[in-house]
Structure 1
Amino acid sequence: MMKRRTFTASLLSALPATSLIGTRAFAQGLRDITFVQPSPSAINSFPVFVAIGEGFFEEEGLNVTVEAINGSGAVLQALSAGQAHFGRPGPGPLIAARSRGVDAVHIYNVAARSNFGIAVQEDSEYQAIEDLRGKVIGTGTADGAEVGFARNVLTGAGMTEGEDFQFLTVGDGGPATAAFLNGEIDAYSASTADTAILNQRGMKVRDITPAEFGRFFGNGIATMAETIENDRALVEGWSRAFARGHAFALNDANREAVLGHLAEGNPQEGEDKEFQSALFDAVRSKTIPPEGSPYLGWYPAEVWAEWQDALVAGGEISGPLDDLDAAWTNEFAALGSEAAGG
């Protein structure tokens, strides 16, 4: 069946938008749903754009619009306000939101391997996390997943925010480069994509994050518990299509088609084909589950506990959640894996 697509942009009310990307399939009888992502990058949400482009969502009766807003906090706000059906927030912001009564649930582990790291300039004297004592760490957003990750790493090295280090929100891309050049920041908590962009723009950086923090998975697909309870068919249909998009993109035989779908989702990323390809490889590698994982999108319970411990230690939440297990489920990833043939 021929799939016709166009791009739409509609501002989510009361939410700051960095860029808005909308993708719609025109077909009769499809249900309109909205997916929100914490940055404009199509590559960071590649399974969504592949599932749109290959018609997997359409086969589930879904017409997906993608909106890019500013950080995981805004993603969770959109979900809780009923302005989106699914989003891609980080685990730290989701746990923190649940501590405030936001009943959001992670249903698919997209960044199964940590997609964040603390980067310093390539020629910097800083060689280890301990060298950042008394320094300023730049972040893309004030409450995004990169903040919780960096706080986890730094507190793990025995440092206290406000005493031994401080965060400064500088944005990503060009603003982050300027912050380095102006001496405003000594290091930058960056995603895989952020690091690639900085290097591509001539700001050479290197990651000094200890290897053991690689187990801290990053952003995943979330929805509201109410949606799971009252609209289960929607969550199941989304999960099947998303998992198929993920599996399709992991097959190198589909590479040309995948990069084409991503260029449609964010034309700017597709302008430099070599960079787009390299960035896709870097991001895709973080979505491959560690050895021992039974299927794509699977969450390890013990790392959720470690994320929570880090948030408590960092003062982001006052204490453990009453029911941490309610913050996540593997049920829909397992369902999606079956649909994807995995």
Structure 2
Amino acid sequence: MITRRTFTAALLAALPLTLLSAPTLHAQDLREITFVQPSPSAINSYPVFVAIGEGYFAEEGLKVNVEAINGSGAVLQALSAGQALFGRPGPGPLLAARSRGVDAVFFYNVASRNNFGIVVRADSDIQDLEGLRGKVIGTGTADGAEVGFARNVMSDAGMVAGEDFEFLTVGDGGPATVGFNSGEMSAYSSSTADSAVLNHRGMKVRDITPPKFARFFGNGLVTMGDTIRNDRELVEKFGRAFIRGHAFALDEANREKVMTHLTAGNRQEGEDPEFQGALFDAIKSKTTPVDMTNGLGYLPEEVWEEWQESLVAGGELQSPLDDLTSAYTNEFIADWNEVIK
């Protein structure tokens, strides 16, 4: 059961992130809200930081504070406990939460292309998933989106966690490098950002995820069902500003401004401009839809069905949800895309 105390403890243990607000002449008139993300990286949530820096949220009458907490599970706890109004968890953890009665709703597809992969060291003898039978797969968190993704991929290959392979929570970045070097893990369920960090730090990795999993979109915008029903105008405002930040950052002509906004959001990432730029390019490539027919943010029904099937097969869901369509909505997407035309 999610409690305020549980979330507070998670928040105190979380990595700090600079809280930002767009400059405005009437700051006291802005509605202050909190957005939670599953890691401290500003680049992973780049549309939010661009929308803050460009003043898009302020134009909607909002002051957005950003909090970084550890993983999608913690993000969903924050939303359920009323500690935040918007967050960016993965679809797997969201469906698992809904199966426990948490009325969280996905309403914008940020990582429209799969942003996870199972990676091994570049010089590893392991060439495919079968090579991980009897091995250990490291993860950044115990219940984050990367865990559900890896479980689904391994289930598709006929392997079950705890029987054919093991998960080991090792953390991100440096701890993952230690996990590889110590031999504690043979593979790592990695986000695009994690892989970029490992490669940048000299731990060269290779992705062995089957290509068919590229269709599985990743983390996106989530709020509680009550917020959509009772505070619809807020959702409309947040989404309008967000999609403007998303579109602004996708335009290469705005790159210099985007990097400035991201550095303001996480100064550590901005200390190495070359790495910051490479990481942004990697993340950005995952947030550009393959098919722009429905514009930015659209959530394909058929992939939600595939996500659910994979979660059931992998044991993360005991059975399909009574109403899968209640887990997500595209009701705002067309109007928001009109804003950026």
TM-score between the two structures when normalised by the length of structure 2: 0.95
Write out per-residue CA displacement over residues 91-136 of structure 1, whole angstroms, 9 at most, x where no aligned residue.
0000000000000000100000000000000000011111111110
**Does 2:8 correspond to 1:13?**
yes
Q: State the AA in 1 paired with 2:267.
A: P
Aligned amino acid, residue 148 of structure 1: G
Preserved contact between residue 21 and residue 68 of structure 1 (Cα < 8 Å): no
Which one-letter code corresponds to 1:176 in the other structure?
A
CA offsets per residue over residues 16-75 of structure 1, 9 Å max, x none? Answer: 413333112352310000000000000000000000000000000000000000000000
Q: Does 1:131 align with 2:131?
A: yes
Percent identity over paired residues: 70
Q: Is the CA contact (8 Å cut-off) linking 1:21 and 1:40 kept in structure 2?
A: no
Query: What amino acid sits opposite 1:92 in the alignment?
Result: G
The gaps in structure 2 that reach 5 residues or longer are 1-6
Q: Is the 8 A contact 1:92 1:145 kept in 2?
A: yes
Deviations 1:123-172 (A, max 9, x none): 00011111111110000000000000001110000111111111000000
2:22 to 25, 44, 63: 25
Checking the alignment, whether the CA contact within 8 Å between 2:17 and 2:265 is kept in structure 1 is: no
State the match for 2:192 in structure 1.
192
Alignment match, 1:338: 338
For 1:66 and 1:188, the matched residues in 2 are separated by 28
Counterparts of 1:25 and 1:299, CA distance in 2: 29
Q: SS of the counterpart of 2:8?
A: coil
Question: Post-superposition, which runs of at least 4 consecutive aligned residues in structure 1 deviate over 4 A?
Answer: none
List alignment gaps of at least 5 residues for structure 1.
1-11
CA root-mean-square deviation: 1.2
1:83: Cα distance to partner?
0.3
Instruction: Give secondary structure in 2 for the equivalent of 1:64.
Output: strand
Instruction: State the 1:292 CA deviation.
Output: 5.4
- Deviations along 1:243-282, whole A, 9 cap, x unmatched? 0000000000000000100000000000000000000000
Q: Equivalents in 2 of 1:126, 1:271: separation in Å?
A: 35
SS at match of 1:331: coil
Moved more, 293-302 or 73-82: 293-302
Give 3-state SS (helix, strand or coil) of 1:48's partner.
Answer: helix
Query: Structure 2 CA distance, aligned partners of 1:179 and 1:169?
Result: 10
Deviation digits for residues 284-318 of structure 1 (CA, Å, limit 9, x no counterpart): 00000112541001111011011111111111111
Aligned residue type for 1:51: A
CA–CA separation in structure 1 for the residues paired with 2:16 and 2:174: 15
Question: Alignment length, in residue pairs?
Answer: 331
